[in-house]
Amino acid sequence: MKVLILGVDGYVGWPLALRLLSRGHEVFGADNFFTRKRVKEVSSDSVLPIRSFGERNRRLEESTGKWIDFYHGDVSDPEFIYDLLGDTEPDAIVHLAEQRSAPYSMLGLKQASETMQKNIISTMNLIYGVHDMVPDCHILKLGTMGEYGTPNLDIPEGFFEVEYNGRKDYLPFPRNAGSWYHWTKVHDSNNLMFANKVWGTRITDVMQGVVYGTRTTDITDPHKFSRFDIDEVWGTALNRFCAQAIAGLPITPYGKGGQSRGFLSLEDSITCLTLGLEKPPAKGEYRVFNQFDQHYSVNDLAEKVKEVYEKKFGKKATIKHVPNPRVEKEEHYYNPESRKLRGLGYSPKGDLQKDLVKIMQDVNDHRDRVMALKDVIMPRTVWGKSTGLPH
């Protein structure tokens, strides 16, 4: 299969490329290095050192004889995406090329508008590009479990039977996101659903949980590492907690810490995405997957990180609740459904305890880099603050 990964230089994009190559697929990739640039802007960096994309790709070829056919460009530029599709004629496209940080999107109007524009326009370009150039191609789009928010209900996979005033219909489940970033993913989902309605485009819309981890079965040595962010803007909770423990800083759940989310290991994420590609939707189908392994509260994660750290390194770790910079419920019901991927054969390999040992090992091997980033781990981006007119 010919797969084009948009955002191939990212945390998920790179290990997905490794997996697809090792399974014999032909892999094309595109990136504009947006995340690298924006991470630098908040004085941060990947804790696991990663080389330039060209260098990574060259070393990949040296060690495996396989490489990614790479195109440098911005998916929010329609000309770039049309040229790319014309040149590569993929069977499937994985769209990971969006601004992916909730705190970044909440920094102010400039970042909020940039997130709206980049994310929505990139998906619009893809929708039209696929229709015009490769209409049978499968679009696998990365959304987030955060699109649903935290309703006081079970969360179905995209659609559900609604009853109102005695009548019934099968409708999209109401979305209720918690940041501008998360809302762009809702807007994308709606736009993709409509593209499917008008053109019958094959689409898999993945509501993914929070991904953690440094390794997959393909990441066997350091030159294959994916990026690993631990700062408050670009790092996710579990990765950040591990870095805090390693740095001897308190582990800091936001607010009461009863916020629950779906989580999955990087290995499981790559497995699920590969499964979605290898078992594509039927012609004319729009399908939604809730993609996660387990759900945990932030307090659960903090406790687990503390426990594993203390056992492995024989030192004390502390947990310190800090004021929640976000606007979100800190105690709530949470029970999302996730049956479709399991129905296709997904059997989770994640084991939080064991995965945490591996993460902490890898992060501790770069403890000097963690220490250099100590000042950007604690939350500064407050939901609802505004920085005024963009300059």
Minimal distance, residue 233 CB to a copy of itself, in Å: 18
Residue 107 φ/ψ, nearest 5 degrees: -65, -35
Q: Which of 11, 71, 148, 181 is catalytic?
A: 181
Residue 383 within binding range of a copy of itself, rule CB under 8 A: yes
CB atoms within 10 A of CB 164: 8
Phi and psi based region of residue 158 (left: phi greater than 0; alpha: psi -120 to 50; beta: remaining)? left
How near is the Cβ of 246 to a copy of itself at its closest, in Å?
33
Quick check: is 181 catalytic? yes
| CB of 82 closer than 8 Å to CB of 129 | yes
Question: Tokens representing 187?
Answer: 């807007």
In the complex, the smallest distance separating the C-beta of residue 383 from a copy of itself, rounded to whole angstroms, is 6
- Judged by beta carbon, residue 116 or residue 275, the one nearer a copy of itself is 116
- H-assigned helices in 29-95: 34-41, 53-64, 78-88
Interface with a copy of itself (CB under 8 A), residue from 2, 26, 36, 128: 128
Residue of the chain from 24, 37, 65, 165 that contacts a copy of itself (CB under 8 A): 165
Among the listed residues 172, 255, 258, 379, the single contact to a copy of itself using CB under 8 A: 172
Beta strands in 202-349 (DSSP E): 202-208, 210-212, 260-265, 286-291, 294-297, 335-336
Q: Which of these segments, 9-17, 159-167, 204-212, 297-305, binds a copy of itself (CB under 8 A)? A: 159-167
Q: Kindly state the tokens that stand for 241.
A: 């907690």
Q: Is 71 in the site for a copy of itself (CB under 8 A)?
A: no
| Residue selected from 2, 26, 73, 108 as contacting a copy of itself according to rule CB under 8 A | 108
* Rounded-to-integer distance, Cα 320 and Cα 236, Å: 17
In this complex, which beta carbon is closest to a copy of itself, that of residue 63 or of residue 386? Answer: 386
Site for a copy of itself in 198-227 (CB under 8 A): 198-199
Closest CB 132 distance from a copy of itself, rounded Å: 5
Evaluate whether 71 touches 90 at the Cβ level (below 8 Å): no
Cα–Cα dist 78/76, whole Å: 6
Q: How many residues does the structure list for the chain?
A: 391
Q: Which of 340, 335, 301, 326 is nearest to 380 (CA)?
A: 326
Active site residue 286: no
Binding test (CB under 8 A) with a copy of itself, winner from 61, 63, 153, 371 = 153
Q: Which of 21, 94, 112, 206 binds a copy of itself (CB under 8 A)?
A: 112
Tokens (6 digits) for 276: 């979605």
Residue of the chain from 4, 97, 186, 251 that contacts a copy of itself (CB under 8 A): 186
Interaction between residue 318 and a copy of itself (CB under 8 A)? no
One of 41, 55, 89, 154 touching a copy of itself (CB under 8 A): 154
Apex 131 CA angle, 128 and 135, nearest 5: 155
Instruction: Kindly state whether residue 73 participates in binding a copy of itself, applying the rule CB under 8 A.
Output: no
Q: Does 151 bind a copy of itself (CB under 8 A)?
A: yes
Query: Could you say whether residue 173 binds a copy of itself (CB under 8 A)?
Result: yes
In whole angstroms, give the CA distance from residue 118 to residue 181: 11
Please, which residues have CB within 8 angstroms of residue 289's CB and are 6 or more apart in sequence?
157, 204, 205, 206, 207, 272, 276, 338, 340, 341
Binding site for a copy of itself (CB under 8 A): 78-79, 82, 108-109, 112-113, 116-117, 120-121, 124-125, 128, 131-132, 151-154, 156, 160, 162-165, 167-169, 171-178, 180, 183, 186-187, 190-191, 194, 197-199, 327, 333, 383-384, 386, 388-390
Which residues are identified as catalytic? 144, 181, 185
